[in-house]
């Protein structure tokens, strides 16, 4: 049987990395075979593209180049990691996927959705996550958490208005895709966030 594909999304500093470890513990408790990966990245080549995308630079990166780099990395990641694992029956837990492209390049950078959709179709065909956890938090809280943890990358140097557009698009995606998306209130304590995640995973588990 094909594995399940779970993605985790949200604006900067929302707690994805922190909660991925928690989800891995849940998967261990279910004795699942799974892989944990991330976007942009997940293969040596795609990780190099990630470095290109995130590095702050003086040269301004044109939106089309950024979008194509995101999908180039995704194509490699799907081909080398995600599809083979799902095909072998393993579950895949991925830190960000194409919802991030609609949120960051679509809403954030004002790129046209139909362009993103064309690339999505070319790169991933009909593949969609089975479950997407969207961690939601007021932008300023997330940015403050992220800045305490590390120096800002190229995206984290954007203005608050950019992240407000990103956040709103994520909420819109959740509203448009209730069968696969669950919004988690990530402004609570870690315990409160993880209680919501457990509930979501257990509900999903019942459908598997």
Stretch that binds ligand T5A, among 24-32, 78-86, 115-123, 148-156 (CB under 6 A): 148-156
Choice from 26, 80, 138, 145 touching ligand T5A (CB under 6 A)? 145
Stretch that binds ligand T5A, among 56-64, 101-109, 125-133, 199-207 (CB under 6 A): 101-109
Q: Distances from the Cα of 184 to the Cαs of 27, 121, 188, in angstroms?
A: 18, 28, 10
DSSP per-residue codes, 123-150:
HHTT---SEEEEEE--HHHHHHHHHHHS
- Choice between 51 and 88, CB closer to ligand T5A: 51
Choice from 190, 195, 198, 202 touching ligand T5A (CB under 6 A)? 190
The CB-of-206 to ligand T5A minimum distance in angstroms stands at 26
- Choice between 161 and 208, CB closer to ligand T5A: 161
Strands (E), 15-149: 34-38, 91-95, 131-136
What does residue 26 show for φ and ψ, rounded to 5 degrees?
Answer: -65, -45
**Nearest one of 178, 169, 92, 158 to 136, comparing CA atoms:** 169
Which residue ranges make up the site for ligand T5A (CB under 6 A)? 10, 12-18, 39-40, 54, 70, 95-96, 100-101, 104-105, 145-146, 148-149, 155, 186, 189-190, 193
């Amino acid at each position: 049987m094909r594995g399940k594909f779970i993605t985790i999304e949200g604006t900067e500093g929302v707690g994805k990395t922190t909660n991925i470890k928690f989800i891995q513990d849940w998967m261990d408790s279910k004795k699942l075979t799974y892989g944990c990966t991330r976007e942009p990245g997940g293969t040596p080549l795609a990780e190099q593209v990630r470095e290109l995308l995130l590095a702050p630079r003086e040269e301004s990166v044109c939106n089309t180049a950024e979008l194509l780099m995101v999908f180039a990395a995704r194509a490699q990641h799907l081909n080398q990691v995600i599809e083979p694992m799902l095909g072998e029956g393993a579950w895949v837990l991925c830190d960000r996927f194409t919802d991030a492209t609609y949120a960051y390049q679509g809403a954030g950078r004002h790129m046209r959705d139909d362009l993103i959709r064309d690339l999505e179709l070319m790169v991933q065909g009909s593949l969609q996550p089975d479950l997407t956890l969207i961690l939601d938090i007021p932008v300023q809280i997330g940015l403050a958490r992220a800045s305490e943890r590390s120096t800002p990358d190229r995206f984290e140097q954007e203005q608050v208005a950019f992240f407000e557009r990103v956040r709103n698009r994520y909420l819109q995606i959740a509203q448009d895709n209730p069968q696969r998306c669950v919004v988690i209130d990530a402004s609570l304590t870690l315990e409160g966030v993880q209680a919501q995640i457990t509930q979501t995973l257990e509900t999903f588990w019942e459908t598997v």
